[in-house]
């Protein structure tokens, strides 16, 4: 049985005090909810304080990115050990905003995936196509290239410790969600690529999240699909009730 994993990506939202408050609200709303692995990813600035709120609860701490080096002259970056030290368990990697605005490549994402796995944390590997790519018939090529790139040199045993987030770029923050069928078909394809790269057993064991304007109103339909094992939630994760509404919509 694959785990349902729901992670809130707060992006560049909330001050430290607002983050602490929202984390408290998420913890309260998540009490006793065991349908999914629940995680939230605040900004780096707020992460340590949010960690204190999450300690001993069923909500895990995630971050939105990481650097692949151990330490040193990398202005503006945060290392895996620094994240691990405050209790981070999951790391979002290759988000389309990182790819689009900060030039993140599959090669760089791969270095980060390897580093996060080495540290024993869970990478959430984001992939997804633009509307132009989908309409241009390039959907499968784009996803295959992103997956091959992100998992280059990663052993099957390590790949089993990852989570994939399929996030169509055209659905992120737009209010436009992929239909249940579009998401299911694409995520089945993603699973078939994992099978080609590794094995059927591996492909069947990896949780594949959907991300892109997911909210309580559309979560039940998406989460009831065979190949959708949770969600990466942006906008709706900034409200504890909405975020938990998504989690509770899981079958
Ligand atoms: C995201 O940023 O990963 C995301 C899915 O955002 P939203 O839910 O706002 O579309």
- pLDDT of 158 over the 90 cut: yes
| Helix, strand or coil, per DSSP, at residue 8 | strand
DSSP one-letter code for 89: E
Q: Measured in angstroms, how far is the CA atom of residue 65 from the centroid of ligand 1?
A: 15
Q: How confident is the model at residue 1 (pLDDT cuts 50, 70, 90)?
A: confident
- pLDDT of 71 over the 90 cut: yes
Q: What is the dihedral of CA 60, 184, 112, 129, to 10 degrees?
A: -130
Shortest CA distance to 246 belongs to which of 238, 191, 181? 238
Does the CB atom of residue 173 touch ligand 1 within 6 A?
Answer: yes
- Mean residue pLDDT of the chain comes to 97
Residue 75: give the domain boundaries: 5-248
**Pairwise CA distance, residues 177 & 211, whole Å:** 9
Using CA positions, which residue lies closest to atom 1 of ligand 1? 234
Mutate to test the pocket of ligand 1, among 173, 209, 210, 222 (most ligand atoms within 8 A of CB): 173
In tens, the pLDDT along 4-54 reads 999 999 999 999 999 999 999 999 999 999 999 999 999 999 999 999 999
Atom of ligand 1 nearest to the CA of 235: 9
The CA-atom distances, in angstroms, between 126 and each of 157, 166, 211, 226, 248 are: 19, 6, 9, 19, 23
Q: Measured in angstroms, how far is the CA atom of residue 72 from the centroid of ligand 1?
A: 32
Percent above pLDDT 70 for the chain:
100
107 CB-contact burial (10 Å; exposed 0-12 / middle 13-18 / buried 19+): exposed
Does the CB atom of residue 123 touch ligand 1 within 6 A?
Answer: no
Question: Any idea what the CATH number is for the domain that residue 220 is in?
Answer: 3.20.20.70
In tens, the pLDDT along 119-139 reads 999 999 999 999 999 999 999
Q: What's the total number of domains in the chain? A: 1
Q: Which helix (H) or strand (E) holds 24?
A: helix 16-30
Using CA positions, which residue lies closest to atom 7 of ligand 1? 234
């Amino acid at each position: 049985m694959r785990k349902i994993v729901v992670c809130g990506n707060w992006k560049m939202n909330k001050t430290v005090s607002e983050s602490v408050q929202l984390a408290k609200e998420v913890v309260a709303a998540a009490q006793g909810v065991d349908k999914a692995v629940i995680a939230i990813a605040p900004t780096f600035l707020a992460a340590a304080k949010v960690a204190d709120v999450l300690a001993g609860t069923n909500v895990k701490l995630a971050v939105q990115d990481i650097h692949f080096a151990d330490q040193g002259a990398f202005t503006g970056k945060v290392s895996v050990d620094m994240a691990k030290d405050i209790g981070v368990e999951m790391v979002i990697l290759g988000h389309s905003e990182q790819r689009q605005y900060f030039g993140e490549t599959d090669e760089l994402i791969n270095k980060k995936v390897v580093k996060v796995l080495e540290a024993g944390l869970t990478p959430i590997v984001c992939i997804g196509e633009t509307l132009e790519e989908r309409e241009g018939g390039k959907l499968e090529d784009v996803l295959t290239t992103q997956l091959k790139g992100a998992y280059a040199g990663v052993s099957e045993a390590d790949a089993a410790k990852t989570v994939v987030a399929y996030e169509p770029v055209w659905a992120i923050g737009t209010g436009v969600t992929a239909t249940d069928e579009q998401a299911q078909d694409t995520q089945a394809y993603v699973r078939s690529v994992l099978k080609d790269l590794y094995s059927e057993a591996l492909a069947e064991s990896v949780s594949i999240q959907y991300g892109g304007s997911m909210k309580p109103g559309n979560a039940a339909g998406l989460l009831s699909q065979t190949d959708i094992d949770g969600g990466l939630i942006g906008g709706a994760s900034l409200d504890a009730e909405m975020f938990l509404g998504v989690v509770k919509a899981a079958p």
